[in-house]
Chains A and B, each alone.
Chain A
Amino acid sequence: MAHARRLLPLAGFALFLAFWYAVALSGVFAPGQLPRPDQVVTTLVDRFANDGLWRDLQLSVLRVLIGVVVGCAIAVPVGFALAWYRSLRAMFDPLVSFFRALPPIALIPLVIVYLGIGEGARLSILIYAAFFSSVVVIYEGAAATDEIYVRAARSMGASQVEVFRRVVLPLTVPQVLVGVRVALGVCWATLVAAELIAARRGLGATIQNAANFFQIDMIYGGVILIGLSALVMDRLLAVLMRRLVRWQERVER
């Protein structure tokens, strides 16, 4: 049973592929409008071998990583400050919600005006997305620190700094990681938008180039690579989380 359950995600992909084949072969779409999965794979293999698709993949992964790392590195202290100081939270909570709701793609024209069309502009979009998606998760986690552990530490003589460093921080690690995971997902979702800013390389740029030349199988290929990269990185992070927060009690489902 447990073994079967591990295979279920694969079965999901298999079912999806079967559906794709069925639609592609059914003739609902004109030939060339919907490539078969194997045609997409062939295109991908060719582009990897002859067209430096690796470089695009690398660049996009790097951009997402920088966005997540920098965005979360800002979100962690800000999240803690918001959790710690009630008045700060009262002041900035609505603002954070306001900016979080803005789709990054809507900000692109402004980013171009102020930051130009260089790498910095693209990264700033990703950092923006990572920061606003994770800061709320982080400060809610930090604000929910169970007072009982703080009291226990204080009763043993812990100073404010010791309480923060040795109790509040470790207690919030799981929630910070959840924030990072959310940021990762959002960054991948924002990548194509970020690469709309005059990027020549990257998976988002590849998709746009393919669209300009009506290479539908490459559009599909790019979409699949983005999805797969996001999936792999999310899984890696999930494994890391399980390692880091082994102490957490979980309700078995």
Chain B
Amino acid sequence: MSTEDKLQFRDVRTGFGSGGKRVEVLDGVSFSVAAGEFVSVLGPSGCGKSTLMSMAAGFSRHDSGEVMVDGRPVTGPDHKRGVVFQQYAIFPWMSVAKNIAFGLSLKANRHSKEETAEIVARYVHLMGLNGFEDALPKTLSGGMRQRVAIARAYATDPEVLLMDEPFAALDAQTREFMQELLHDANQQERRTAMFITHSVEEAIFLSHRIVVLSRRPTSVHEVIDVNVPTPRTAESRLSDEFIQLRRHLEEVMRSMSTFAPAGRLS
């Protein structure tokens, strides 16, 4: 275990029910995310990917093992770990700018008015939200709302960004665009990131490393280094490394699918 490990899961176990009805979900999951690294967690549905994120954020507990940030166990939510949810969790009664500024107005992480304005402007720009500062969420598309959510998570300057399938509800085109936007943002402002997804392509495009989880009871099936050169663009998706990796991962995912494994159209 290197000292650079920012986020660590060590032999994490959890499940629900008890006695004969006990269902193990996480059955000894261990991996870590190094400082500045972007790691995707890929796995079949129901394997407990989101549970891992929830533990790292401090929303849920585990039965045994350790979830640690900087070597210290996570005990609850904290502004040092920013979260982007699959559902659009931006506050509907606040404008885009107010949403992004929210974390900076809290006692735990209060910034002056001037600092806040500067930070909001920076992330409005980074996420391409210029001109929408005063818009209410209800007037925005799904993709725009997630951009606000990402800007809001960045704005509190978290040490770790946790993202739980943030693009899963978007259409294919918007999704690719959002992946590129997030990748570019992360090139400019490097954050340690854990990204939960069930999309092979998304995992490859965004990550330095991919942690592949097995079916339930879940453990780490494989950890893959992504050797597609950065910065990545739409073109990268067509490179040999990308396609090779994609073929391998699609194969792995198919083998773990609960549904008819052979000859299934995807």
B108 touching A155, Cβ below 8 Å: no
What residues of chain B lie closer than 8 Å to A153, measured between beta carbons?
102
User: Which chain A residue shows the least CB distance to B149?
Assistant: A152
Give B73 Cβ to nearest chain A Cβ, in Å. 17
B106 touching A157, Cβ below 8 Å: yes
Whether, in the assembled complex, A171 has its beta carbon less than 8 Å from a beta carbon of chain B, the answer is yes
Whether, in the assembled complex, B221 has its beta carbon less than 8 Å from a beta carbon of chain A, the answer is no
Whether, in the assembled complex, B242 has its beta carbon less than 8 Å from a beta carbon of chain A, the answer is no
User: Which chain B residue shows the least CB distance to A152?
Assistant: B89
Give A169 Cβ to nearest chain B Cβ, in Å. 10
Whether, in the assembled complex, A90 has its beta carbon less than 8 Å from a beta carbon of chain B, the answer is no
Residues 151-183 of chain A: 1 if any B CB is under 8 Å from the residue's CB, otherwise 0? 111111111001000110011010000000000
A155 touching B82, Cβ below 8 Å: yes
Q: How many residues of A contact B (CB 8 A)?
A: 22
B92 touching A157, Cβ below 8 Å: no
Which of A148, A167, A245 makes the CB contact (< 8 A) with B85? A148
The CA of A245 and the CA of B59, in the complex, are separated in Å by 30
The CA of A171 and the CA of B94, in the complex, are separated in Å by 11
What residues of chain A lie closer than 8 Å to B93, measured between beta carbons?
170-171, 173, 245, 247
A159 touching B108, Cβ below 8 Å: yes
B108 touching A149, Cβ below 8 Å: no
The CA of A33 and the CA of B148, in the complex, are separated in Å by 67
What band does the interface of chain B fall in when counting residues whose beta carbon is under 8 Å from A? 20 to 34
Q: List 6 A-B contacts (CB under 8 A).
A: A152-B91, A156-B103, A157-B108, A159-B106, A159-B108, A247-B138
Whether, in the assembled complex, A50 has its beta carbon less than 8 Å from a beta carbon of chain B, the answer is no
Whether, in the assembled complex, A248 has its beta carbon less than 8 Å from a beta carbon of chain B, the answer is yes
Give B105 Cβ to nearest chain A Cβ, in Å. 8
Q: A149-B89, A247-B138, A249-B138 are in contact. Are A155 and B57 (CB under 8 A)?
A: yes
| CB-based A-B contact count at 8 angstroms | 72
Q: A148-B87, A170-B93, A247-B137 are in contact. Are A155 and B81 (CB under 8 A)?
A: yes
A248 touching B108, Cβ below 8 Å: no
5 nearest interchain CB pairs? A157-B79, A157-B108, A156-B103, A154-B77, A155-B83
What residues of chain B lie closer than 8 Å to A246, measured between beta carbons?
136
Which of A157, A170, A249 makes the CB contact (< 8 A) with B109? A157
B79 touching A247, Cβ below 8 Å: no
Q: A151-B59, A247-B136 are in contact. Are A156 and B82 (CB under 8 A)?
A: yes
The CA of A152 and the CA of B59, in the complex, are separated in Å by 10
B83 touching A151, Cβ below 8 Å: yes
Query: Which positions in B face A, CB cutoff 8 Å?
Result: 57-59, 76-79, 81-83, 85, 87, 89-94, 102-103, 106-109, 136-138, 152, 156
The CA of A151 and the CA of B108, in the complex, are separated in Å by 15
The CA of A23 and the CA of B49, in the complex, are separated in Å by 71
What residues of chain A lie closer than 8 Å to B107, measured between beta carbons?
157, 159, 162
The residue among A149, A152, A159 with the most chain B CB atoms within 10 A of its own CB is: A152
What residues of chain B lie closer than 8 Å to A158, measured between beta carbons?
106, 108
What residues of chain B lie closer than 8 Å to A159, measured between beta carbons?
106-108
Q: A156-B79, A157-B103, A158-B106 are in contact. Are A149 and B91 (CB under 8 A)?
A: yes
The CA of A181 and the CA of B79, in the complex, are separated in Å by 39
The CA of A158 and the CA of B94, in the complex, are separated in Å by 16
What residues of chain A lie closer than 8 Å to B102, measured between beta carbons?
153, 156, 166
What residues of chain B lie closer than 8 Å to A154, measured between beta carbons?
58-59, 76-77
Residues 241-253 of chain A: 1 if any B CB is under 8 Å from the residue's CB, otherwise 0? 0000111110000
Q: A152-B83, A157-B103 are in contact. Are A248 and B92 (CB under 8 A)?
A: yes
The CA of A158 and the CA of B87, in the complex, are separated in Å by 20
Which of A151, A155, A156, A249 makes the CB contact (< 8 A) with B92? A249
Q: A148-B85, A167-B91, A247-B92 are in contact. Are A156 and B156 (CB under 8 A)?
A: yes
A157 touching B156, Cβ below 8 Å: yes
User: Which chain B residue shows the least CB distance to A247?
Assistant: B93
User: Which chain B residue shows the least CB distance to A171?
Assistant: B93
Q: A156-B79, A167-B91 are in contact. Are A151 and B85 (CB under 8 A)?
A: yes
The CA of A242 and the CA of B59, in the complex, are separated in Å by 35
What residues of chain B lie closer than 8 Å to A156, measured between beta carbons?
79, 82, 102-103, 106, 109, 152, 156
The CA of A249 and the CA of B138, in the complex, are separated in Å by 6
Give A175 Cβ to nearest chain B Cβ, in Å. 13
B83 touching A162, Cβ below 8 Å: no
The CA of A149 and the CA of B81, in the complex, are separated in Å by 16
Give B76 Cβ to nearest chain A Cβ, in Å. 8
What residues of chain A lie closer than 8 Å to B109, measured between beta carbons?
156-157
The CA of A155 and the CA of B74, in the complex, are separated in Å by 12
The CA of A191 and the CA of B216, in the complex, are separated in Å by 63
The CA of A20 and the CA of B210, in the complex, are separated in Å by 77
